[in-house]
């Protein structure tokens, strides 16, 4: 309470509601060096073998929490993903999301796996996806499904064939040109708006 500069009554309110404002959790994470998710789980009554209770983290006036899915998109040879379970949340400023034209309901976070997009997008990087984008209206980095597998790739329209060029940033992975029926089989799952990872 001293570090976060809140009163006991405020903490009692958080406990009663089962929710803590994201601003306070971000401050706690910054001060402690731990992740926000660290403060989102606690043992109920401290009992051994009991299921953990989770306090809800709330959006606030400045930040929105975006779901991170237990899904990987391949920056390599393809990844098959089934049910997309929510495994965490990341906070983004409302103003930034609005400037990107990104609504919370269409925003999801996944992880990249593989080396085909290095050094721009590396193995383990997190990707913020706008899932409302389902068509290739402009060249850019997209999450796609092709032949039943999920990828993150740079897509460019190929006006010479009327198809799509699927490009990896890593020069060891040659571009692929999809035309005709094969291009029609490519499904766009969303556009990559932002990515982050370890330095």
Return d(Cα 66, Cα 187) in angstroms, integer.
23
Chain segment 110-166, per-residue pLDDT in tens: 999 999 999 899 998 999 999 999 999 899 999 999 888 899 999 999 888 889 999
- Least confidently predicted of 16-20, 77-81, 126-130: 77-81
- Entry field: residues in the chain: 199
Return d(Cα 123, Cα 75) in angstroms, integer.
7
Question: How confident is residue 1, by pLDDT bands cut at 50, 70 and 90?
Answer: low
Is the pTM value of this prediction over 0.75?
Answer: no
- Count CB-CB contacts under 10 A for residue 133: 21
Strand partners of residue 91: 65
Return d(Cα 121, Cα 112) in angstroms, integer.
7
| Average pLDDT taken over every residue of the chain | 81
Mean pLDDT of 74-88: 69
Return d(Cα 58, Cα 136) in angstroms, integer.
34
Quote the pLDDT of residue 60. 76
Chain segment 33-49, per-residue pLDDT in tens: 766 666 654 433 344 44
More confident residue, 17 or 167: 167
């Amino acid at each position: 309470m001293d570090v976060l500069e809140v009163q006991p009554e405020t903490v009692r309110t958080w406990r009663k509601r089962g929710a803590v404002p994201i601003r306070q959790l971000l401050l706690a994470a910054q001060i402690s060096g731990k992740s926000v998710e660290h403060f989102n789980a606690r043992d109920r009554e401290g009992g051994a073998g009991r299921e953990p209770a989770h306090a809800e983290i709330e959006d606030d006036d400045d930040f929105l929490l975006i779901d991170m899915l237990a899904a990987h998109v391949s920056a390599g040879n393809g990844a098959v993903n089934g049910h997309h379970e929510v495994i965490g949340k990341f906070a983004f400023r409302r103003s930034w999301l609005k400037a990107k034209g990104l609504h919370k309901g269409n925003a999801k976070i996944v992880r990249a796996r593989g080396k085909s997009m290095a050094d721009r997008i590396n193995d383990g990087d997190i990707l913020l996806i706008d899932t409302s984008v389902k068509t290739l209206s402009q060249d850019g980095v997209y999450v796609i499904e092709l032949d039943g597998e999920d990828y993150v790739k740079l897509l460019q329209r190929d006006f010479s064939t009327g198809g799509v060029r699927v490009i990896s940033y890593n020069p060891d992975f040659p571009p692929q040109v999809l035309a005709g029926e094969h291009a029609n089989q490519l499904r766009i799952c969303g556009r990559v708006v932002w990515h982050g990872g370890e330095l």
